[in-house]
Chains A and B, each alone.
Chain A
Amino acid sequence: MTFGEGGERLGRVLGTEDVTPTVFWFAVAPGASVGLDDLVVVRTLKPDGREVRFYGLVDNVRKRHEGVTFESDVEDVVAGVLPASVSYAARVLVTRVDPEHFIPPQPGDEVRRAHGADLDMALSADKMKEAAFPAGLLADGQPLPLNFRFVNGESGGHINISGISGVATKTSYALFLLHSIFRSGVMDRVARAGGGHTAGTAGGKAIIFNVKGEDLLFLDQPNGRVQEREAEAQAAKGLSADRYTLMGLPMSPFRDAQFLAPPRPGASNNAIVPHTDQRAQGVTPFVFTLREFCERRMLPYVFSDAGGSLNIGFVIGNIEEKLFKLAQTQASAGAGLGVTDWKVEESSNIPENIDFSDVGAVNIQTFDQLISYLEYKLLDENEGLGDKRWVLGQTQGTLRAFVRRLRGVQKHLSPLVRGDLSEAQARQYRPNLLGGTQLSVVDIHNLSGPAQMFVVGVLLREVFEHKEKYGRQNTVFVVLDELNKYAPRDEGSPIKDVLLEIAERGRSLGIILIGAQQTASEVERRIVSNAAIRVVGRLDLAEAERPEYRFLPQSFRARAGILQPGTMLVSQPDVPNPVLVNYPFPAWATRRDEVAEEVGQSVEEVGEDWLGY
């Protein structure tokens, strides 16, 4: 290709500002229009006649009156008295120099818009080849390629998204990326190119934790407004087609999805129905059995927000071990926990509905009973001294603190951890994230804080342990918003440990964390820094100046304060500067009223659907 083919001439490199190999200004030619984020290419000749090309993106543009000295001269210029010309200049951040001779371009060199092969060079798409998948549209309507090898753990992994709630629409962008990963065929292409070491799209799984509203419970439903919104966007931006078409993605909802929700607390007859308001059909409730609770060492996740003292940590570890042993000794099947050493009548708190199976043996069936049992073992037995093997020399104060905390979360966890299930029920309601469907949405928005932490912690650890066992053959994407809550910078917690494990070792196991938070400065540094792809939406300007955002050049940090919904700054290792993209309106419904009406669905059916029968 010869230089400048198809690329519109935009101007010439300025000689009145410093020209450096990484940053330079150019004067915009009359009639040309240059805005932020335009991608440009400059060719310069070395004295020996060899050519060096500079690819870059415009990160600043300015206009001013040239040849006038006083600011009030603008009145005279507009009045037609004072001749002046408008100088229009743009600053370019160089993203790539090819070949890598870091000489400055020459003032006067032509600047052209990057198109075709030049555009691929500017965005390093030539390095990505089959691993490129669309991550949104550039300002001029061309798709931004993202390198999947930096997502799936091969060269790097994890995606981190920052932005103010509501405006940055972090979850929307995470979902769009998932859609793009699953539907662009990039997983299959990379799997093929890698000789089949990974399973491709078919093996790909995604787990999404829905933390806000019931936004994500309709991902499998088409969005009734997407056509209209995309047509609007196409007209407003002057694109040649809708944004899905431009990126080669289907405008369709997610396929092969399951929706999990916690059971509604206090349902009659202890029935297990999902705790959702807008969608009932197709939502599976999930519970953990009391047996699993002990067997799988879930106790620490009950205290995940506690930080806590060393002593309590010691008690937790000890009780966790005791419960594990106890679960090991269970002879009978079932969800409950049989204990023989509980003299209920000696308990200070005697729970209701205790199931005495044999003489002296108690079958613990609720979380409440479990706490009462622990209370008995630690504080009541042996005339208030507790069982020596359980107490292990801890002071009463510590033990009481432990029980008090358990009592504190009892209300939240009782519906989730149950011992009164039949074996069939336990199987049916056990959350199965990696077995069946491609996409699992775990709705935790109705849960209280501690219960949310518990669910996320337990499920993530299970995923992690599963992947440790079976390797990275299938890539699992975990979408989790509010990372600052689960992995705060300053405090430790079991769930933070799991997230750290995923961040640091997950990529080699095929677990990819697509994490989001309002403020990256409040998230554990190692989690953010392990993300190869970083995305920023609208930021608070004070937040944007924190060191976590140093990967953004200064001009981008300033702009992060004015980004509109649907616009993101994407930084990836292949391209030294972040790139601004906009991404399409979701093709999947994000609310009940966005669900496209099914043709042929009767009024009654719709009504039933609405009322949640």
Chain B
Amino acid sequence: MPPMRIRLDPWPVDIEGGQLGLQRFEGDLIDIETPRWAAVAAKPVPERLHTVHVVDGKRRMESRVFIEDEAGEAGMGGFGAYVVGAVRMCPHGSRPAELTDVRARRLLAHAPGLRVDPYRLSPRDPHTGTLQYTPIVTESADPLAPLHKLQQVMLAEEQNLSHGLASQVPFSEEDDREALTSLTIQDGTLRSKNLGGAVVGCVKTMQTQYLPADRASLLSELRPGERTPILHMKYANSPYTRFIWYVRLCEAAFYQHPMSGVMRLEMYAPDDSDFLPPIVREVANVSGHLLCRLASRAHKDPRAPQNLIPTAALESAMTRAMGSADLVTRRLRAHIARELGVVA
């Protein structure tokens, strides 16, 4: 009987769930690339793939509000802000990486049945700009509905951005016009239905163990840059299908659990489970090289290596774009005070 072994999860303890969760997966998993379950070496990034976008989104609820409209109706709502943005970079390192489309948008989400006008906060100091809140109706009067609405809008924007920036993926064997020239790396799992772009989702944590026990051991054996074969995955109770594979970004330290440098990647898949679009295979092939370059280091990022360098930069740029939460809250309060004629 082997001795008991304990090894560490590399992520900080205050991140819920840690990097490893290992719940059982209830769904279908099909070998679509090859039945041979072994590590696949990374291939170099082809010249024609000239642009990689890293896309992420972020949201923040700024204030919960109680709204009384002119007709006397009342309900709950919330001031919120969200940002989606991208880092545009060259996978060959020939251009500096740059931030694009990082702009905060502000919403005043409110319960249905209210008449709400756009809300505009003018600053006292003309140098600091105005804040514009667009009204948007939530699905229910639930107190959490504004937050959910905000999240929904953000995710939708994120999807639009991701797919707008990427090459199209042809989903039939005849269609080979489209080559992989532009790839989008989206932070987190793919949440919506397939929109047709070459978008790869990077799932940082392993909350669910998709692989059966006899295959999971390959994850520990992968060397940096290597990947598993591509699998076709379908959740038991979800209509969305996707391709998944695992990539190792860095060696695990001896004291960490052996899957600590491993990341799961996802791409949208057509429903029929016998066609692997060549672009998907190409993305999988280059993903090792690409992600090893983008992987962060433990001393710079607590969620290293899975939280990619451009993602971290994007996150901080997005936080900055939303402005200081304290200042926004104070502006809201001062604005309301002025509207009510209270001398602040």
Contacts and interface: CB of A to CB of B under 8 A. Distances in A.
Interface in A65-90: 67-70, 72-73, 76-84
Interface string B266-298: 000000000000000000000000000110000
Contacts of B127: 15, 106-108
Interface in B280-333: 293-294, 299-300, 309-310, 313-314, 316-317, 320
B95 interface: yes
Interface in B147-182: none
Contact of B309 (A76, A106, A107, A108): A76
A69 B315 CA distance: 13
A108 B126 CA distance: 10
Contacts of B309: 76, 81-82
Nearest to A76: B309
Contacts of B89: 80-81, 83
Interface string B88-99: 011011111111
Contacts of B198: none
A106 B125 CA distance: 11
Contacts of A83: 87, 89, 96-99, 310, 313-314, 317
B300 A77 contact: no
B317 A79 contact: no
A78 B92 CA distance: 12
Contacts of B320: 67
B293 A81 contact: yes
Contacts of A107: 127
B96 A77 contact: yes
Interface residues of A, number: 19
Contacts, number: 52
Contact of A80 (B95, B99, B316): B95
Interface string A96-126: 0000000000111000000000000000000
Interface size, B (range)? 20 to 34
Contact of A84 (B92, B293, B313): B313
A84 B314 CA distance: 10
Interface string A33-75: 0000000000000000000000000000000000111101100
Contact of B300 (A15, A70, A80, A84): A70
Nearest to A68: B313
Nearest to A80: B93
A305 to B, nearest CB: 66
A69 B92 CA distance: 24
Contacts of B92: 80
B310 A82 contact: yes
A15 B129 CA distance: 14
Contacts of B93: 79-81
A76 B301 CA distance: 14
Given A69-B300, A70-B300, A106-B127, A80 B314 contact: no
B13 to A, nearest CB: 22
Interface string B189-226: 00000000000000000000000000000000000000
B184 to A, nearest CB: 15
B94 A80 contact: yes
A79 B320 CA distance: 24
A67 B93 CA distance: 19
Contacts of A80: 89-90, 92-97
A65 to B, nearest CB: 11
Contacts of B316: 67
A15, A68, A81, A108 pick with most chain B CB within 10 angstroms:
A81
Given A70-B300, A83-B89, A77 B97 contact: yes
Interface in A298-326: none
A76 B299 CA distance: 15
Contacts of A76: 309
B100 to A, nearest CB: 9
Contacts of B90: 80
22 contacts: A68-B313, A70-B299, A70-B300, A73-B300, A77-B97, A80-B89, A80-B93, A81-B97, A81-B293, A81-B309, A81-B310, A82-B97, A82-B310, A82-B313, A83-B89, A83-B97, A83-B98, A83-B99, A83-B314, A83-B317, A84-B96, A108-B127
Interface of B: 87, 89-90, 92-99, 127, 293-294, 299-300, 309-310, 313-314, 316-317, 320
Interface of A: 15, 67-70, 72-73, 76-84, 106-108
Given A81-B97, A81-B309, 17 more contacts: A15-B127, A67-B313, A67-B316, A67-B317, A67-B320, A68-B313, A70-B299, A76-B309, A78-B96, A79-B93, A80-B93, A80-B94, A80-B95, A81-B93, A82-B97, A83-B310, A83-B313
Q: Which 9 pairs show the lowest CB-CB distances between chains A and B?
A: A83-B97, A80-B93, A108-B127, A83-B99, A79-B93, A83-B87, A82-B309, A80-B97, A83-B313
